[in-house]
C-alpha cells in the first residue's frame, strides 16, 4: 500500500479555494454590516412607544422576578399574563440585565436576529442551488433593503419572526419523514412564544408541504404530522395561558375584535386593499417606515417573472417554487389574521429573495444566451450584488439621510436630549401621567409612571374619551405654543360651563330648534363628568406631573398638575 496520497485535481483545488473565499467574504461582510448597524442602532428609526411598551414589560419581568408580570404603567388598561410573546420578553430582559434599560439594549436583540436571518438566507440558497456566489449576492441585496434595515433597528418582534421564517424556508425542502414533520410543526408552533405572527412562517411552510404532498414529494402522513405538531404547540401555549389567566380566550377574543380581526371575509378583502393603498401613500399610522413603493411594484413583477420562469423550465426548481408558494402563503396569512399592521409587510422579503434566486439560478443563464451577450448569465450574481450596492447608495440616503445628518450635524441623540429635558423638569418624587414614547426615562426616574391609555377606561359609566376638549389654548386664533407656568391658586379649574354662552336671536326659532341646544347641553354635561372622573383618577394616584395632550387639555388649565410638555397634532 502506497503511503503517498493521490494529488487532488485542479478543479477540486479550485472549488475548495472558491468555497473558502466565499465563506471568508460572507463572514467579513456580516461582521462589517453588524458593526455599522450597531453604531447606528439608535440613529434610525425614531423611537416608537411600542418599543418602550415591550421593553417595559421585559423590565417588569426582572423587577418582579416573574414571567407572569404585566405592565406596571397600565393600572386600568386591561392586561392579562399569557404565554404568547413570553420568550421575546425573556430575551429582552436578558439584554436589559446585561446592558441596562435603554434603547440600544432592546434594539440589539432585533439586530442579532437580523444577522441570523442573513446567515440562514445565505445557507439556504447556497444549499439549494450549489452556487455560493448567487447566495452571497442575494444576501447582500437583502441586507441593504431599507425595510429590512428598519426592522433590524426596531425593538419589536418582527425581526425575530423573520429569522424564524428564513429558518422555515431553509428547512422545509428537507422535510420528508413524518417525525420530521411533527418536530418541524412543533418548533414553528412554539415560535408563538415570540409573537402570534409566527402564523406567517407556519402557514407558508404548511403551504409548501401541501404542494409537495400533491406532487408526491412528501407523504400525506408527513403533512398531517406537521399539522399535529402545530396543534400540540398551540394547545400547550393556550393551556399555559389559561393556567395563569382563566379568562384568556375571552379577553383575547375581545382584544382581537377591537382590532377588527373578526371581520367578515369580504370586509377583510376590503381592509387588505385599503392597507395596500395606505402603504403606497406612505400612510403608516404611528410607525416610521421607509418608502415602500418600490417594494410594492417589485412584488407583482417578481411574481410574474417567477411564474414565467417556472412554466418554461422543464426541471424542478425548488427555490423558485417555494418562493412563489411563500408569497401566496404570506397573503393568505395576512388575510386570515386580519390584523393589517404596517410592520408585518417585512415578511414578504424572504419569499421575494427565494423567487429572485430561483429565477437567477436556472432561468437567467439558460435564456440570456439567446437574447443577451454570451456568458452574461454567469455574471448575474455579481451584477446583482453590484446592483444592490448601487440601489442602496440611492435608497438608503433617501430613507435614512435625515436621521444620519441630524446626528452628525448636532452630535447628539435626539431621543436622549428629549429624555434629558423631561428629566430636568420632573418635580421631586414625580408621579407622572404621560405617553410611552417617554417610557425609557420615566420608568427609571419617576417614582411611578402611568400611561395615558388608562384614561380611556376611567369613565366606564360615561363612555370612552373619544372627543377633544375645547379651550382657549387650542383655539385656532391662539398662536401660543408654550405651556403656561402652573399657578399656586386654589381656584377650581375652569370647565366647559365657563365657556361663553352663544347669544340667541329674536327671530322665530325653526322647528326642532331645541334639539341642537339639548345636544350641546348633554355634551357639556358629559365633558364636565369626564373632567371630574379624570381629575379623581389623577388625585387618587397622587399624580403631580403630566405630559399633556390636546385631548385632555383641561389638565393644562388645572393648577394642581405640573405640565411638562404640550403635544399637539401635527
Exposure string over 319-328, b if 16+ CB within 10 A, otherwise e: bbbbbbbbbb
Q: What is the pLDDT of residues 494-507, one digit of tens each?
A: 233 333 333 333 33
Low-confidence winner among 1-5, 114-118, 152-156, 256-260 (lowest mean pLDDT): 1-5
- Where does the pLDDT of residue 445 fall: very low under 50, low under 70, confident under 90, or very high at 90 and above? confident
Q: Higher confidence at residue 291 or residue 425?
A: 291
Low-confidence winner among 84-88, 146-150, 328-332, 375-379 (lowest mean pLDDT): 375-379
Residue keyed to cell 399535529:
228
Q: How far is CA 149 from the centre of its chain?
A: 12
448 DSSP β-pair partners = 431
Q: What is the pLDDT of residues 507-564, one digit of tens each?
A: 344 444 555 556 666 666 667 777 788 888 888 888 888 876 554 444 545 555 555 5
Q: What is the pLDDT of residue 546?
A: 83
**H/E element holding 124?**
helix 103-129
- For residue 506, give Cα distances in angstroms to 147, 305, 502, 503, 509: 63, 74, 13, 10, 8
Q: What is the pLDDT of residue 58?
A: 95
Q: What is the pLDDT of residue 409?
A: 63
- Please, which residues have CB within 8 angstroms of residue 483's CB and are 6 or more apart in sequence? 548, 556, 563, 564, 565, 566
Q: What is the pLDDT of residue 480?
A: 33
- Asked whether residue 170 carries a pLDDT value surpassing 80, the answer given is yes
- Please, which residues have CB within 8 angstroms of residue 18's CB and are 6 or more apart in sequence? 132
- Ranges of H-type helices in 157-292: 158-171, 178-190, 199-214, 220-244, 248-258, 265-280
Q: What is the pLDDT of residues 385-394, one digit of tens each?
A: 566 667 666 7
Low-confidence winner among 83-87, 103-107, 111-115, 406-410 (lowest mean pLDDT): 406-410
- Asked whether residue 24 carries a pLDDT value surpassing 70, the answer given is yes
Return the domain boundaries, the chain. Answer: 12-47+61-67+80-397, 416-501+515-567
Question: In angstroms, how far apart are the furthest CA atoms of the chain?
Answer: 123
Low-confidence winner among 77-91, 167-181, 196-210, 478-492 (lowest mean pLDDT): 478-492
- The whole-angstrom separation of Cα 298 and Cα 294 is 6
Average pLDDT, the chain: 78
Average pLDDT over residues 30-43: 93
- Asked whether residue 204 carries a pLDDT value surpassing 50, the answer given is yes
- Where does the pLDDT of residue 232 fall: very low under 50, low under 70, confident under 90, or very high at 90 and above? very high
Q: What is the pLDDT of residue 49?
A: 87
Q: What is the pLDDT of residues 303-317, one digit of tens each?
A: 998 888 888 776 668
What pTM, to 2 d.p., does this model score? 0.81
Amino acid at each position: 500500500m502506497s503511503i503517498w496520497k493521490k494529488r487532488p485535481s485542479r478543479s477540486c483545488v479550485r472549488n475548495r479555494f472558491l468555497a473558502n473565499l466565499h465563506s471568508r467574504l460572507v463572514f467579513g461582510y456580516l461582521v462589517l454590516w453588524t458593526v455599522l448597524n450597531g453604531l447606528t442602532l439608535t440613529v434610525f428609526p425614531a423611537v416608537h412607544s411600542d418599543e418602550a411598551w415591550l421593553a417595559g414589560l421585559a423590565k417588569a419581568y426582572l423587577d418582579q422576578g416573574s414571567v407572569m408580570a404585566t405592565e406596571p404603567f397600565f393600572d386600568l388598561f386591561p392586561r392579562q399574563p399569557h404565554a404568547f410573546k413570553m420568550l421575546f420578553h425573556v430575551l429582552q430582559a436578558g439584554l436589559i440585565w446585561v446592558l441596562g434599560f435603554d434603547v440600544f439594549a432592546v434594539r440589539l436583540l432585533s439586530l442579532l436576529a437580523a444577522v441570523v436571518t442573513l446567515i440562514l438566507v445565505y445557507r439556504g440558497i447556497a444549499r439549494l442551488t450549489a452556487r455560493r456566489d448567487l447566495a452571497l449576492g442575494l444576501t447582500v441585496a437583502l441586507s441593504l433593503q431599507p425595510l429590512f434595515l428598519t426592522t433590524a433597528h426596531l425593538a419589536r418582534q418582527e425581526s425575530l419572526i423573520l429569522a424564524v421564517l428564513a429558518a422555515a424556508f431553509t428547512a422545509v425542502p428537507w422535510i420528508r419523514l413524518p417525525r420530521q414533520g411533527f418536530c418541524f410543526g412543533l418548533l414553528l408552533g412554539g415560535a408563538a412564544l415570540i409573537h402570534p405572527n409566527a402564523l406567517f412562517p407556519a402557514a407558508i411552510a404548511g403551504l409548501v408541504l401541501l404542494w409537495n404532498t400533491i406532487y408526491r414529494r412528501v407523504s400525506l402522513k408527513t403533512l398531517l404530522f406537521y399539522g399535529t405538531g402545530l396543534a400540540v404547540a398551540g394547545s400547550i401555549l393556550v393551556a399555559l395561558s389559561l393556567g395563569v389567566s382563566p379568562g384568556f380566550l375571552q379577553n383575547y377574543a375581545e382584544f382581537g375584535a377591537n382590532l377588527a380581526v373578526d371581520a367578515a371575509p369580504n370586509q377583510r378583502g376590503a381592509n387588505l386593499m385599503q392597507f395596500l393603498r395606505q402603504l403606497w401613500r406612505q400612510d403608516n399610522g404611528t410607525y416610521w417606515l421607509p418608502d415602500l413603493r418600490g417594494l410594492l411594484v417589485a412584488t407583482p413583477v417578481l411574481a410574474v417573472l417567477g411564474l414565467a420562469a417556472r412554466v418554461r423550465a422543464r426541471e424542478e426548481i425548488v427555490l423558485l417554487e417555494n418562493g412563489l408558494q411563500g408569497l401566496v402563503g404570506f397573503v393568505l396569512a395576512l388575510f386570515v389574521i386580519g390584523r393589517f399592521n404596517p410592520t408585518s409587510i417585512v415578511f414578504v422579503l424572504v419569499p421575494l429573495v427565494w423567487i429572485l434566486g430561483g429565477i437567477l439560478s436556472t432561468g437567467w443563464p439558460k435564456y440570456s444566451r439567446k437574447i443577451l451577450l454570451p456568458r452574461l448569465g454567469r455574471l448575474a450574481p455579481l451584477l446583482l450584488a453590484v446592483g444592490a450596492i448601487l440601489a442602496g447608495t440611492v435608497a438608503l440616503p433617501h430613507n435614512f439621510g435625515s436621521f444620519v445628518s441630524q446626528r452628525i450635524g448636532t452630535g447628539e441623540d435626539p431621543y436622549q436630549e428629549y429624555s434629558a429635558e423631561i428629566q430636568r423638569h420632573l418635580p421631586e418624587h414625580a408621579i407622572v401621567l404621560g405617553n410611552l414614547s417617554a417610557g425609557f426615562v420615566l420608568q427609571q426616574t419617576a417614582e411611578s409612571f402611568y400611561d395615558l391609555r388608562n384614561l380611556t377606561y376611567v369613565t366606564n359609566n360615561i363612555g370612552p374619551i373619544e372627543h377633544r376638549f375645547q379651550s382657549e389654548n387650542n383655539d385656532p386664533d391662539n398662536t401660543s405654543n408654550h405651556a403656561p407656568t402652573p399657578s399656586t391658586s386654589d381656584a377650581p379649574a375652569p370647565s366647559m360651563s365657563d365657556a361663553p354662552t352663544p347669544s340667541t336671536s329674536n327671530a322665530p326659532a325653526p322647528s326642532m330648534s331645541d334639539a341642537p341646544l339639548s345636544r350641546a347641553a348633554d355634551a357639556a354635561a358629559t365633558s364636565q363628568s369626564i373632567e371630574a372622573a379624570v381629575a379623581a383618577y389623577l388625585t387618587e394616584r397622587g399624580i403631580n406631573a403630566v405630559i399633556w395632550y390636546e385631548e385632555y387639555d383641561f389638565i393644562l388649565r388645572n393648577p394642581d398638575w405640573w405640565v411638562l410638555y404640550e403635544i399637539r397634532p401635527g
